[in-house]
Chain A
């Protein structure tokens, strides 16, 4: 019987396994060096903060795998022989396969700073990193986070939950500046400062120094400032984990090179998730190190493996995150810097951490994306609006339909429309009348 082997039990690998099981009867084996069972990587912070125990991060009960005939193996693979279709484990054991999926995920970036491997300096990606952080943070009173991304702000929140003061070194002039425009970045920054974070913008790490015991005791910035600290968190992005693939015949670039069908250069060998680099004919190859894309790639790849060759289409882009107490969602594409031909409408609440930015083409008025902070939006509505090239006027007037906030929450559509009308006096928009949710299911009504 044909045998599918998946290397990596993260969201991509596990999604492939689950969906192949729905479609096919083939043998499935998942091999992971990290943990016995699949867990939600995104929830590691909550284990550290005591919101959950590790067992709560497992999306499936332990008996799930046996019940669904998905074999699990914990072990480190050292060699892939694609000619013989044989894997070698560190233990010396050999495992054969008929189809192979590489879902080896990411590794955290480190840029060769002096002292980057000292005790007390770490990144956060794996379960082992979490255990390390438990130890490293034990005696630290002050910490320095390097790099202003999502994992950085999560680590900062974790450290602050233990009463550790956090200084944040950010290379750009604002928080998450390679993604967020100024308004949003400043909103997040103010909120994080409210939680006690001390930001140093346009500041880079130069060196990490150790005390007599060899543990980190300070960092030195490129501006020459020395900041004493007992913990240094590095969150300067991730790169595909290609160590294993690079040793084999499988073609790699920055990641494991795959086509739109997530197929590598070797027939029967695929890659999905963070580790895959999707080759694009004209333009830059795509690496998508996100939970959502890992899941979507896994679902797509499962179809191919089960015999129905299917192209990976990411659909309308979306992402979401939470910065301390502020939730963030984005749909479509919102550039961090102004783009020719693209206009942007921005509204921010006077006091609270609530704002939205809608970008649209100047010529056609077609909406291209939204950033929303503190207002939850309905995914399928935005997906439809963006896929159907809705205009700004339509979107603003029907903004109520997209609201996904809990019941009884204050609604801001009127304020948003009023702000728009104030900014564009020639263009007096009115909000479409309130549609009870039930009416949305009837297709007869049209928007005036």
Chain B
């Protein structure tokens, strides 16, 4: 009866899907359409450290001024050059025994040591000769011209000084890995030219814009396709959402993107160029790899947030929390930090906080904030107040959800883009055990890491018990910050569900969770004994909580991990679950398992009589 006027829905959705797929392939394809050519100009604009530039430039000659179409070989060429430079730098700059022998031979001929010997021995027109000459002049200048020293004495001095000089070669001439990463990215970015660079606007239009319009065309007609309500048909039959082939392809793509983003951003410079103009307008500087990430991240939250608005159009709770997520992501996480850069202020995401923001107490951040006047001081105080006072107070009144499913960016992505994968979380008791061990370990690790960072900051002592505090920070950043939260936490959405990071890794979630578990008014109330044990609540719990195991006993659910997304309550076909902020006294007594606990005792004897009126 409703088929006639809804005939447009299927073709529109199908076209949308096609547009999304085309947009996706244009987006990926553009990474391989440009050419790369190293020029003098590229070099000088990319390596602003002039010494480094002078050091590496002679080694890049073979790559200069040739146009390469294969991005992989181009990047490999540059990377190999840097690696080769570093591997051979000692070989080239150190004073070899041959060098010393030549000097001593000259000394023997002349009868004394003189700096002119050096120019004769090191007669090549290169940096190595200059370096060696310079160093020996500095270290052995006092010896020059002294008569009456015998050869053995001179030899001993020169050999000793050579050892000292050689010990510093690497420190002075090696280019560190961090800088190499920066240089490779900058070199690739500014040597990239061709069809993508010439048509940035068109590529933006046919990738990001096309995919966005396609996604919306796929998403929005759902609103008109039938009555509102829970529609999870075929979630476990569709290979995009049941961990099947399409899901695995998406996962592979996401993992590769995260690896590129964290470790090899030079492979995605064309993406960065897409949003360069936008970010130039926003922050005055231009875009980095993290800019395109932030842009796509925010876009994903907005577009998939619209999907949430439509999917849950019958539920004001989901509409409200999704609106909140979109607001905090687009304004606090995306726009505000860029605007702060433009205003020459420290860039910060005011809704993020330690310990999720694990480098808040790093020296560079503390220095940057404390040197930025009132606004920096405000940010410092705000950041500390938020986790010292904000978390306990808000969590006491509203539960963990106030942050995890209403404000947080990680949670924001999970609740929108990750929603199609929520049912993939593991519900077993063993997963719960693992969760408790891992997430609390990360919290402890983060506290130790931060404490040592502060110790170093205030005392200037760089090691504690033989451990370098910097290596603690960089290790945490690599394993927790990059691998866990990014590659696994988001990349594995299609396999492990959308809250892997929040459930197993996030130290802030661990901290808020402890408060929720032990001192919060929030809980999920079970409505009497009405549970039919169907399992929808547990299946769709993104945190892997076996909600049913509580509901079927008539117990309220008070769990550290619950982010209060409210989906269990929505998918329950009997309306048994309700998220509530009650009192802490109402937290269930676990000794009373299997009895129906009447949480709300509203009727006293007096009231019972009063009712009869």
Contact = CB atoms under 8 A, between A and B. Distances in A.
- For the complex, would chain A's binding face be called helix, strand, loop or mixed by DSSP majority? mixed
Contacts of A311: none
B535 A59 contact: yes
B59 interface: no
Interface string B562-605: 00001001110111001111110110000000100011111110
B226 A437 contact: no
Interface size class of B (residues with CB under 8 A): 35 or more
A391 B533 contact: no
Given A327-B574, A408-B317, A438-B582, A318 B539 contact: no
A292 B535 contact: no
A57 B600 contact: no
B594 A52 contact: no
Interface stretch (B29-37, B227-235, B264-272): B227-235
B535 A52 contact: yes
B226 A322 contact: no
A161 B569 CA distance: 22
B608 interface: yes
Contacts of B606: 446
A211 interface: no
Contacts of A376: 527, 575, 578
B235 A59 contact: no
A53 B236 contact: yes
Contacts of B226: 194-195
A401 B602 CA distance: 9
Contacts of A321: 574
A347 interface: no
B536 A46 contact: yes
B603 A42 contact: no
Nearest to A38: B533
A330 to B, nearest CB: 11
B314 A59 contact: no
Interface size class of A (residues with CB under 8 A): 35 or more
A313 B232 CA distance: 38
A447 B536 contact: no
Interface string A381-406: 10111001111011000000100111
Contacts of A379: 527-530
Contacts of B433: none
Contact of B317 (A52, A327, A393, A407): A407
A42 B233 contact: no
A327 B575 contact: yes
A391 B536 contact: no
Contact of B602 (A198, A384, A406): A384
Contacts of A254: none
B236 A52 contact: yes
A51 B532 CA distance: 16
Interface string B308-329: 0000001111011000000000
B467 interface: no
B343 interface: no
A188 to B, nearest CB: 12
Contacts of A58: 535
B610 interface: yes
A19 B233 CA distance: 35
Interface of A: 11, 18-19, 22, 40, 42-43, 46, 49-53, 56-61, 161, 191, 193-196, 198, 291-292, 295-296, 299, 318, 320-322, 324-325, 327, 329, 376, 378-381, 383-385, 388-391, 393-394, 401, 404-410, 437-438, 440-441, 443, 446-447
7 contacts: A50-B232, A327-B574, A380-B598, A384-B602, A389-B611, A406-B315, A406-B566
Interface of B: 1-3, 226-230, 232-238, 314-317, 319-320, 428-429, 521, 525, 527-530, 532-536, 538-539, 548-549, 552, 566, 569-571, 573-575, 578-583, 585-586, 594, 598-604, 606-608, 610-613
Q: Which 3 A-B pairs have the closest CB atoms?
A: A379-B528, A325-B229, A408-B316
